[in-house]
């Protein structure tokens, strides 16, 4: 469980951020950054480095380990602090509010701005190790793939998908992106998993979802993790979110992933509303989406 760093932010001084970003730079080369390297990376004197290390360690923004040498690394909280500081400097956000959700691989908070927005910190990296090994590009130490890199890549992928799909597809409007964090429009409504639809709404809502899947496909993407937990249902319709694992439609597994997405959604409706959905053929829907001919399951 990663704690919310926002309350600490006001206590931090500009030099604390120099230190944190110095450690971040050092972590490109090794997981634990030697103390001796930090004055150079952070452009602080050795004395100031020691002072700042203590301050940041007290706030759980950095961790220390002594093997042959004393090394430091950022914690997720330290990385969160850097991203938050950047958003505040860019005036993207004015403050962080309460938690909106904790995913398997993310923490989502409400943020205050000119309107309510959502901040998603990506937490991939402890689990997605192998995938990153394949597409690694920037870590110098061959054995070392930093979770910073994995989480940052996931945020980049999600942000790119949102930018490519919005507004043609009903996804949260992307607002800003830095490191492993993205800022997007805060969605209204509740997760599909928590809704109980009236009989007359079942097929129309399933239709809306499949139409968004079809629009996303037209826009070049397969979501690849479609489920009742990644769809919001609100007054204005449905929103499909959580896009870091999306693949482009020319990806070798795109057809298979599309089929699985469609099966997942229709399967959910079939389990929850069996009498109203037992005539729908997921394979036919997936093929229609691929061919650009999907219209409705209501006809």
Query: How many whole angstroms separate alpha carbon 29 and alpha carbon 293?
Result: 50
Query: How many whole angstroms separate alpha carbon 12 and alpha carbon 51?
Result: 13
81 vs 162 by CB, closer to ligand ATP: 162
**Residue 108 found at the interface with ligand ATP (CB under 6 A):** yes
Cis preceding-peptide flag for 167 (omega within 30 of 0): yes
75 vs 106 by CB, closer to ligand ATP: 106
Site string for ligand ATP, 24-63 (x = CB under 6 A): ----------------------------------------
Q: Which of 107, 124, 164, 242 binds Mg ion (CB under 5 A)?
A: 242
* Nearest alpha-carbon partner for 240 in 137, 143, 166, 141: 166
**Residue 242 found at the interface with ligand ATP (CB under 6 A):** yes
Query: How many whole angstroms separate alpha carbon 94 and alpha carbon 183?
Result: 12
231 vs 262 by CB, closer to ligand ATP: 231
> Binding to ligand ATP (CB under 6 A): which residues in 134-173?
172
CA–CA distances in Å: residue 165 to residues 7, 38, 119, 210: 34, 41, 19, 15
By DSSP bridging, strand 95-103 and strand 117-122 are: unpaired
Residues recognised as catalytic:
225
**Residue 245 found at the interface with Mg ion (CB under 5 A):** no
Q: Which of 39, 57, 88, 103 binds ligand ATP (CB under 6 A)?
A: 103
**What are the residues facing 99 on neighbouring strands?**
109
**Residue 230 found at the interface with Mg ion (CB under 5 A):** yes
69 vs 129 by CB, closer to ligand ATP: 129
Residues in contact with 242: Cβ distance below 8 Å, sequence separation at least 6, in sequence order? 103, 158, 225, 229, 230
Query: How many whole angstroms separate alpha carbon 184 and alpha carbon 173?
Result: 5
State whether residue 227 is helix, strand or coil. coil
Q: How far is the CB of 262 from ligand ATP (least distance, A)?
A: 18
Site string for ligand ATP, 168-187 (x = CB under 6 A): ----x-----------x-xx
Residue 35 DSSP label: G
Site residues (vs ligand ATP, CB under 6 A): 100-101, 103-106, 108, 118, 120, 172, 184, 186-187, 191, 229-230, 241-242
């Amino acid at each position: 469980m990663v704690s919310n760093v926002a309350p600490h932010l006001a206590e931090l001084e500009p030099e604390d951020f120099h230190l944190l970003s110095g450690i971040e730079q050092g972590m490109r080369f090794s997981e634990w950054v030697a103390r001796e390297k930090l004055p150079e990376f952070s452009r602080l004197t050795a004395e100031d480095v020691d002072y700042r290390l203590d301050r940041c360690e007290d706030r759980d923004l950095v961790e220390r380990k002594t093997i042959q040498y004393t090394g430091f690394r950022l914690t997720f909280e330290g990385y969160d602090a850097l991203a938050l500081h950047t958003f505040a400097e860019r005036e993207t956000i004015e403050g962080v509010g309460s938690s909106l959700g904790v995913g398997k691989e993310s923490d989502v908070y409400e943020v205050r701005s000119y309107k309510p927005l959502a901040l998603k910190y990506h937490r991939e990296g402890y689990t997605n190790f192998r995938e990153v090994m394949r597409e690694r590009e920037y870590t110098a130490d061959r054995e070392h793939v930093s979770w910073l890199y994995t989480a940052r890549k996931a945020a980049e992928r999600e942000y790119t998908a949102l930018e490519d799909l919005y507004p043609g597809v009903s996804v949260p409007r992307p607002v800003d992106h830095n490191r492993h964090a993205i800022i997007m429009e805060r969605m209204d409504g509740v997760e599909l998993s928590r809704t109980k639809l009236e009989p007359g709404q079942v097929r129309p809502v399933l239709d809306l979802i499949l139409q968004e899947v079809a629009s996303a496909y037209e826009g070049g993407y397969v979501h690849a993790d479609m489920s009742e937990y990644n769809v919001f249902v609100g007054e204005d319709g449905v929103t499909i979110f959580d896009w870091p694992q999306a693949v482009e439609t020319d990806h070798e597994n795109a057809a298979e992933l599309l089929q699985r997405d469609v099966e997942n959604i229709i399967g959910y409706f079939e389990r929850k509303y069996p009498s109203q959905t037992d005539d729908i053929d997921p394979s036919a829907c997936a093929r229609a989406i691929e061919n650009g001919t999907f219209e409705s399951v209501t006809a």
